[in-house]
Structure 1
Amino acid sequence: MREISLDRLRTLVTIADHRSFAEAARILHLAPPTVSLHIQELEDRIGAPLLSRKRGHVRPTAIGETLLARARRLLADTELAVDDIQRQVQGLEGRVRLGASTGAFAHLLPQALEVLEQRHPSIDVQIAVLTSQETLTRLKEGTLDIGLVALPQPATAGLVIKPWRRDPVMAFLPAKWPCPARVTPKWLSGRPLILNDSTTQLSRLTTEWFAADGQRPAARIELNYNDAIRSLVAAGYGAALLPHEGGANAAQDTRMVVRPLRPALWRQLGIAHAAQVDRSTQLALDVLSKLR
């Protein structure tokens, strides 16, 4: 079955609104024979007259009125759809799907979300709490737009991975413990430990930090939720090695103390995204890039 062109419907609506073929041709920038052809094609497709032309007056027939009502809705929906898409292309509206770890979500992303809300309130940011590997997998699948991942990561075809921020890893210790000014691998390995699980980049970093000093401690428990780890430290369950994200831990529990490491250890985060991004994603990337 042959489809009806929106251009033909627009011609019909314009004629009906202005009661004139000639005026419709002028408004639509079409030759008068083309306007007549559009109506003839519609009438052939419908199988009935759509316009009545008597004594110089043009009026819709009963069938024409029915089609006009549907045509106006179709044309309005089309204009709305085009406008919505154009607003997304311009970054005025849109959706950004972002993956990040619990630590980044709790302490770093709120700043970016606040700025985005102020500057681009029509951009909907959807967040998934994921490990770095899960984030990269979903970026490759196209189900995420931006990912905050621990570095280093291997080069991945179709993805851009850029360094974002570098935070010191610190020792989080129960305040009741007698603690040195700087914590060494040897001192810490003899204490109960709460460590990130072995699937994380932070686990690999801390394992290498201990191993460089010949230490291979066993964790009392492994978790992948930094706020829960901090709560256990404050409760006296053990010590942890966690990133210290600027002022993120300023309101720290007084039952816990934070000490620098010797030798120092750093956790670096990167921003990952597809090589080609839409306007909304680029605006979100611009905001994130300034949070260092």
Structure 2
Amino acid sequence: MQLPQLKSFVTVCDTRHFTRAAELLHVAQPSLSQQIKALEHELGTPLFRRARGNITPTDAGAALLPVARRILADTELAYREVADTVDLRRGRVRLGAPPSLCASLVPDIFRVFHDRYPGVELTVDEGGSQDLVRTLTDGELDLALIITHQTGRPAALRVAELLHENLVVASAPQLPPPGKRARITVADLRDQPLVMFRRGYDLRESTITACREAGFEPTFTVEGGEMDAVLGFVRAGLGLAVVPSMVAERSGLRITRFTRSGPERTIAIAHRRDVQPPRAARELHRMLLEHLRSADANGELPPETTLLAEAFAPAE
């Protein structure tokens, strides 16, 4: 039973005339008649009573008619659903990102994408890069923004590095700056109270590692917060925090930059090698690269942020 046969059958039922049905379907009448005969042969029973000038469904034809209408309607709906997805009138993108990027880069990209494709559902999984790699590998995400010094380049993923970002020190504007110079070293944090992220945060590991490499263990006044909480504690004067420059620029806090030997990170976008991301995810990837290129050309990226060549590799 084929869709053209069912469409021919329904049209003959509606017109009660083979010639008129063939005209509506833009097919030759012999072709339409052959489709009906083939359908009757497959079902093993006549579907029409054929009297001159009076074509009516048999009992079998009357039973088939509502079913055929439903099949054709469902088929049309399926075509529309697929077309909507291809044209991005609907769909879904599942993006994973560290909290620091959910507080800086992701809102800008989501806003631009949503303005252009309001029917596409956007979901975000906020977590550490290592957790995001596992979630992406398991097929629960379409794309993930990750920090490559935490994850490397997992063999199961295609990874393109986007941005190189120096970390900065955020402090409350009402308190004295953390150092006597415009730029400080990690060693200058030795006697400074720090507000520290919870365990599992990429920034926590980066900060502690940098302090240990400078020869000391950092001192925490508050420990265990998420990004918004850490910035709030800093704003209240409870201590300093080492944060990405993109986050610091939006925080309203004082920004103190490190010398060249300060902590840094590289942001990349990743997807599974064995599965092509859905159309909506590929478009989000493209718009992310477009946004970064525009921001870089217009001088809108923080001075501690460098766009990398891999960012311009096309999404696959």
Sort the TM-score into its range (normalised by shorter chain): 0.7 to 0.9
Is this contact kept in 1: 2:18–2:32, CA < 8 A? no
CA shift for structure 1 position 239:
1.3
Q: Helix, strand or coil for the counterpart of 1:80?
A: helix
Tell me the alpha carbon deviations over residues 60-85 of structure 1, each in whole angstroms, 9 at most, x when there is no partner: 23553343123112211111112211
CA shift for structure 1 position 176:
4.3
Once the two structures are overlaid, the 10-residue window that deviates more, 130-139 or 218-227, is: 218-227
CA shift for structure 1 position 213:
1.9
Tell me the alpha carbon deviations over residues 119-152 of structure 1, each in whole angstroms, 9 at most, x when there is no partner: 2222221122222122111111111101111122
Query: Does 2:133 correspond to 1:132?
Result: no
Q: Which residue of 2 aligns with 1:147?
A: 144
Q: Which residue of 2 aligns with 1:277?
A: 277
CA shift for structure 1 position 94:
1.6
Question: Against the structure 1 CA distance between its residues 193 and 102, is the aligned structure 2 distance closer, same or farther, given a 3 Å change threshold?
Answer: same
Q: Which residue of 2 aligns with 1:76?
A: 73
Give the share of equivalent positions with the same residue, in percent: 29
Tell me the alpha carbon deviations over residues 200-235 of structure 1, each in whole angstroms, 9 at most, x when there is no partner: 332232223222321222433333521110100111
Q: Which residue of 2 aligns with 1:112?
A: 109
CA shift for structure 1 position 90:
4.3
**2-structure distance, mates of 1:140, 1:218:** 36
Q: Helix, strand or coil for the counterpart of 2:193?
A: coil
CA shift for structure 1 position 31:
6.4
Is this contact kept in 2: 1:16–1:59, CA < 8 A? yes
Give the TM-score, by structure 1 length.
0.84
Equivalent residue runs for 1:137-286 within 5 Å: 137-152=134-149, 153-179=151-177, 180=179, 181-223=182-224, 225-245=226-246, 248-249=249-250, 252=252, 256-262=253-259, 263-275=261-273, 276-286=276-286
CA shift for structure 1 position 21:
4.1
**1-structure distance, mates of 2:196, 2:48:** 78
**1-structure distance, mates of 2:249, 2:61:** 67
Once the two structures are overlaid, the 10-residue window that deviates more, 281-290 or 238-247, is: 238-247
**1-structure distance, mates of 2:41, 2:21:** 15
Unaligned runs of 5+ in 1: none
CA shift for structure 1 position 191:
2.0
**1-structure distance, mates of 2:225, 2:95:** 19
Q: Which residue of 2 aligns with 1:38?
A: 39
Residue type of the alignment partner of 1:258: I
Question: Against the structure 1 CA distance between its residues 157 and 52, is the aligned structure 2 distance closer, same or farther, given a 3 Å change threshold?
Answer: farther
Residue type of the alignment partner of 1:277: P
Is this contact kept in 2: 1:16–1:60, CA < 8 A? yes
Is this contact kept in 1: 2:143–2:277, CA < 8 A? no
Is this contact kept in 1: 2:165–2:264, CA < 8 A? yes
CA shift for structure 1 position 188:
1.4
Q: Helix, strand or coil for the counterpart of 1:175?
A: coil
Is this contact kept in 2: 1:151–1:201, CA < 8 A? no
Is this contact kept in 2: 1:173–1:239, CA < 8 A? yes
CA shift for structure 1 position 116:
1.1
Give the TM-score, by structure 2 length.
0.78
Q: Which residue of 2 aligns with 1:288?
A: 288
CA shift for structure 1 position 112:
1.0
Tell me the alpha carbon deviations over residues 235-278 of structure 1, each in whole angstroms, 9 at most, x when there is no partner: 122211011207842x61xxx42211233332321111123222
Number of equivalences: 281
**1-structure distance, mates of 2:88, 2:223:** 42
Q: Helix, strand or coil for the counterpart of 1:40?
A: helix
CA shift for structure 1 position 155:
2.4
CA shift for structure 1 position 287:
0.8
Q: Which residue of 2 aligns with 1:11?
A: 8
